[in-house]
């Protein structure tokens, strides 16, 4: 009853916020809050109005991202349509279309995208957003109940549960960190009822205490520490109509961590991590960029529900951070991947499997989650350029590190390349190991050296005549016969070499 009542208030407030568009300010926000407070408490009104404002802002960001996606698709279509039929592309640009039929179909799609772009730009400039409380996907499922294998009653239960509103922000200094939805360290839940439902209270001050207890399996100890210290904790209660269960989610904000300098992050080496569609490939490197030990792989499964995918990502990152902590390294190197402009079919054409592969890789979610989880364990995260890491890693590091006890894959070699790039070392091995004998019978003799360092394999320093002249001045005898030198040492201060004049002949 509380969720349905507050959900109706949230729907009306969101509609009001969407009608205001870009004309929103503090006065209109206060007016909305006073309007909602008549049917609920002031704390509930604050949570509802803030959620409406956040929802509108999220819709605006999604609208802008959709605009950029449409513009990228139109640019790609215009480029490919301008080329001749069958024109081959390069490594970074696509070629022309294969047939006249495909060219005509893409020209029609270009006109469709241009129309959508014009509509989206008009909405964005006017501040209009389109938001569906409960989810657009669930709303469209109403028209396809047979395909979803749902009855109308089952769909109605999920729709109403999706439109419930039972969330409240925390307040530091208040009892247990939240006055609206209160959880004690023992797991007892109490809710501040809205004004029209205060007659249902079973506790003083218009509160309703649930008979069941709450248990947090993940970070329960950390939550209990915050609650006992009366630090702010936000709660959200939601109903899973499919399982007929109620869940409560606790969240809080941590203070910003101190940024570790790059030199300090490299002091103990680095762990290079290669992100893939179903696993994380990691390899530890020392400060000189040499791989140490064996590679590690942390698998995850991104099929199923969103909660399952989120849990899989969290478990994989947790195992990665625990292994990094055991190695003694205090920094992780990852690729700064972004497939925003590379997921469209205008760029990759018929490569549907490849588009599905890169679309399924949660690069942004992995990066954001890794940064937040690594900060709790005092581990720095270094983002590097992803260019050629897989190609050069497989070319220069897969075969040398392969052995009877270690089966190097392309992803493990890419992790080595990522770690070396984060440490400031070149990825490509410019040299090969020493040959089996001193001469160059097996090929040129080269070694692994830093860029610009000559070392043993560089050219020798030119031999000077100073030691030779010193021995003659001291009266030392030669041990073998030598021919007369054709050059003499000039004694002038500019130390130039000159040829003896008496040696000129004819």
Tell which wins on pLDDT, 361 or 70.
70
pLDDT of the residue at 500: 41
Non-local (6+) Cβ contacts of 146 within 8 A are: none
Tokens encoding 297: 């792989």
Cα dist from 187 to 190, 211, 240, 473, whole Å? 10, 10, 20, 97
* Residue range 79-86: mean pLDDT, rounded: 92
What digits encode the pLDDT tens for the residues 295-316? Answer: 999 988 877 777 777 778 888 8
Tell which wins on pLDDT, 260 or 205.
205
pLDDT of the residue at 481: 45
What digits encode the pLDDT tens for the residues 316-336? Answer: 888 999 999 999 898 999 888
CA distance 282 to 380: 15
DSSP 3-state of 254: coil
Place of tokens 């497989």: 394
Percentages of the chain per state (helix, strand, coil), in multiples of 5: 45, 15, 40
Residue 275 pLDDT exceeds 90: no
Q: Which residues pair with residue 274 across a beta bridge?
A: 281
Question: Terminal CA-to-CA distance of the chain, rounded, Å?
Answer: 119
Confidence of residue 105 (pLDDT cuts 50, 70, 90): very high
Residue 359 pLDDT exceeds 70: no
With beta carbons less than 8 A apart as the criterion, state whether 241 and 157 touch.
yes
What digits encode the pLDDT tens for the residues 4-53? Answer: 999 999 999 999 999 998 888 889 999 999 999 999 889 999 999 999 99
Tokens encoding 408: 């190097």
Residue 80 pLDDT exceeds 70: yes
With beta carbons less than 8 A apart as the criterion, state whether 363 and 339 touch.
yes
Q: What percent of the chain has pLDDT above 90? A: 42
CA 300 to chain centre: 16
The mean of the pLDDT values for the chain is 81
* Residue range 389-399: mean pLDDT, rounded: 87
Strand locations in 214-369 (E): 234-240, 245-251, 270-275, 279-285, 291-299, 331-335
CA distance 497 to 489: 6
pLDDT of the residue at 391: 87
With beta carbons less than 8 A apart as the criterion, state whether 247 and 237 touch.
yes
* Residue range 209-219: mean pLDDT, rounded: 88
What digits encode the pLDDT tens for the residues 154-207? Answer: 999 999 999 999 999 998 888 899 999 999 988 899 999 998 999 999 999 899
CA distance 84 to 91: 18
Rg (CA), the chain: 34
36 closest CA partner among 19, 58, 14? 14
With beta carbons less than 8 A apart as the criterion, state whether 234 and 178 touch.
yes
With beta carbons less than 8 A apart as the criterion, state whether 374 and 368 touch.
no
Cα dist from 303 to 57, 63, 138, 276, whole Å? 29, 27, 19, 14
With beta carbons less than 8 A apart as the criterion, state whether 421 and 441 touch.
no
pLDDT of the residue at 505: 40
Tell which wins on pLDDT, 367 or 141.
141
Tell which wins on pLDDT, 366 or 483.
366
List b or e across 171-192, with b for residues whose CB sees 16 or more CB atoms inside 10 angstroms.
Answer: beebebbbbbbbbeeeeebbbb
């Amino acid at each position: 009853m509380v969720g349905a009542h507050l959900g109706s208030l949230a729907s009306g407030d969101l509609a009001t916020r969407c009608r205001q568009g870009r004309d929103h300010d503090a006065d209109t926000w206060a007016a909305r809050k006073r309007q909602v407070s008549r049917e609920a408490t002031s704390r509930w009104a604050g949570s509802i109005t803030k959620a409406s404002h956040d929802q509108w802002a999220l819709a605006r960001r999604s609208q802008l991202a959709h605009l950029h996606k449409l513009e990228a698709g139109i640019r790609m279509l215009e480029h490919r349509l301008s080329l001749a039929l069958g024109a081959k592309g390069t490594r970074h640009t696509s070629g022309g279309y294969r047939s006249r039929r495909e060219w005509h179909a893409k020209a029609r799609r270009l006109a469709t995208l241009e129309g959508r772009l014009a509509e989206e730009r008009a909405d964005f400039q006017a501040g209009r957003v389109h938001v569906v409380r409960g989810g657009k996907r669930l709303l469209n499922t109403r028209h396809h109940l047979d395909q979803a294998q749902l009855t109308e009653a089952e769909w109605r239960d999920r729709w109403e549960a999706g439109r419930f509103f039972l969330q409240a922000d925390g307040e530091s200094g208040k009892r247990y960190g939240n006055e609206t939805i209160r959880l004690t360290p023992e797991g007892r839940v109490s809710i501040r009822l809205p004004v029209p439902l205060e007659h249902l209270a079973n506790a003083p001050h218009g509160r309703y205490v649930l008979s069941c207890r709450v248990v947090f399996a993940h970070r329960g100890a950390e939550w209990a520490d915050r609650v006992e210290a009366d630090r702010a904790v936000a709660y959200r209660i939601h109903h899973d109509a499919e399982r007929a269960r109620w869940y409560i989610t606790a969240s809080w904000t941590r203070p910003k961590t101190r940024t570790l300098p790059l030199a300090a992050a490299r002091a103990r080496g680095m762990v290079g991590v290669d992100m893939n569609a179903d696993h994380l490939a990691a390899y530890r490197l020392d400060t000189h960029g040499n791989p140490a030990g064996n590679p590690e792989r942390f698998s995850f499964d991104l099929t199923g529900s969103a909660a399952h995918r989120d849990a899989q990502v969290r478990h994989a990152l947790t195992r990665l951070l625990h292994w990094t902590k055991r190695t003694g390294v205090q920094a992780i190197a990852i690729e700064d991947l972004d497939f925003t402009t590379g997921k469209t079919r205008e760029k990759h054409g018929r490569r549907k499997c490849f588009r599905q592969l890169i679309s399924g890789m949660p690069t942004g979610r992995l990066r954001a989650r890794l940064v937040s989880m690594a900060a709790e364990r005092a581990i720095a995260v270094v983002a590097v350029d992803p260019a050629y890491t897989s190609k050069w890693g497989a070319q220069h590091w897969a075969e040398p590190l392969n052995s009877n006890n270690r089966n190097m894959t392309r992803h493990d070699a890419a992790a080595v390349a990522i770690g070396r790039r984060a440490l400031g070392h070149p990825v490509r091995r410019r040299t090969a190991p020493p040959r089996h004998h001193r001469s160059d019978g097996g090929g040129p003799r080269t070694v692994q050296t830093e860029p610009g360092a000559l070392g043993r394999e560089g050219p020798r320093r030119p031999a000077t005549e100073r030691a030779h002249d010193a021995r003659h001045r001291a009266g030392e005898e030669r041990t073998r016969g030598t021919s007369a030198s054709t050059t003499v040492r000039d004694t002038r201060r500019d130390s130039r070499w000159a040829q003896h004049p008496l040696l000129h002949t004819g």
